[in-house]
Amino acid sequence: MRRLLFAVFTVAISLAARAQGNVDTYVAVNDEQDANTFAVIICNENYKHEVPVPFALNDGAIFKRYLTKTLGVPEKNIKYVPDASLNDMNYNMKWLENVINVKDGQARAIVYYSGHGMPDDESKKAYLLPVDGYSLEPATSGISTEDFYKRLSAMKSRQTLVFLDACFSGSKREGGMMQQARGVAVREKKGPVQGNMVVFAATDAGQTAYPLKEKEHGLFTYCILEALQKSKGCITLGELSDIVTKKVDEVSTIENEKKQTPTITAATSLKDWRNWKMAEKEAKRFETMAKPQNQTAVPAASQPAQQLTTPSTQMPKPKRSFLKH
């Protein structure tokens, strides 16, 4: 009987430890609501004319989970847009502009994008590629980062945070070149960052944004999620920048034998952006949640997206399994 009880206890401990290490299912829950943050999450995985982006849908679904649960952003304040067309992307960006401007400097904007990025051969400008876009024609079927940043910087926001898990070299997330892309990587020209805006991008110029296959995420996104998990949301942009930059480069060098160096760019007028906090107060408890099943695209009109959580349970603090502060 003692052996049986010991075996059951050992299995329970093992399962608990495994749950604590999973950023998808073991999530800090903040009871404080942040009604003045609005977000657009675009995750493009299933391209019509290009190779897919592995785990992009999981990236977006779990990033949304952390916004609602760990940062306390209300569901109604988030537009979650999986496998977005060009019209979907423009429509939801316009929604964000409208709500931020009507708040007249009182609201924070968060934009997350996971998917393909492409440079234009002639202009070398960088483009975000919708699922109906063509890598050979990014200028006519995509959104340039120059225009993207210009629209965001024109908003009357208190703060604007942008997270881009994409590369703009013509590379696939899993390595190699996109089917329709050129045979060599192009060093793109990124748009200027102005206003109250800080941009976290997955790579430096000419690099590939790799996946972390065993975690089913983009490497860049995974490091952001784990930093939010371990800090229980109360982390400054400076701390987040230092952690993510170091870990992405370190893991990519070891796992992929290639550099991936995230870049963090702030408007030159911003002197205190490193002190901005993702959440003002840390979460006081954790929930175990069901892992999202196969994420599929839904029309923008069906917002908000499906609920991803299960009833909460009180659990111990997570172990530091991946990031080291």
Question: Once rounded to an integer, what is the mean pLDDT over residues 177-205?
Answer: 66
Q: Determine the 3-state secondary structure of 245 from DSSP.
A: helix
Residue 300: what pLDDT? 41
Decide: 115 and 81 in contact? Cβ < 8 Å. Answer: no
Phi, psi of 222 (to 5 degrees): -60, -45
Residue 171: what pLDDT? 53
Helices (H), 21-133: 56-69, 86-103
Rounded distance, CA 80 to CA 61, Å?
8
Question: Once rounded to an integer, what is the mean pLDDT over residues 9-33?
Answer: 68
Q: Which among 134, 309, 138, 161 has a CA at the least distance from the CA of 224?
A: 161
**In sequence order, which residues have a C-beta less than 8 Å from that of residue 52 and are 6 or more positions away?**
45, 46
The total of other beta-carbon atoms located within 10 Å of residue 177's CB is 17
Work out the pLDDT band at 308, boundaries 50, 70, 90. very low
Rounded distance, CA 216 to CA 228, Å?
17
Question: Once rounded to an integer, what is the mean pLDDT over residues 297-313?
Answer: 39
- The pLDDT tens digits for 232-291 are 999 999 999 999 999 999 999 999 899 999 999 999 999 999 999 999 999 999 999 998
pTM of the model: 0.82
How far CA 201 is from CA of 117, 121, 189, 248, 254, in Å, comes to: 11, 21, 14, 11, 20
- The pLDDT tens digits for 276-285 are 999 999 999 9
Q: Which residues pair with 78 in a beta bridge?
A: 39
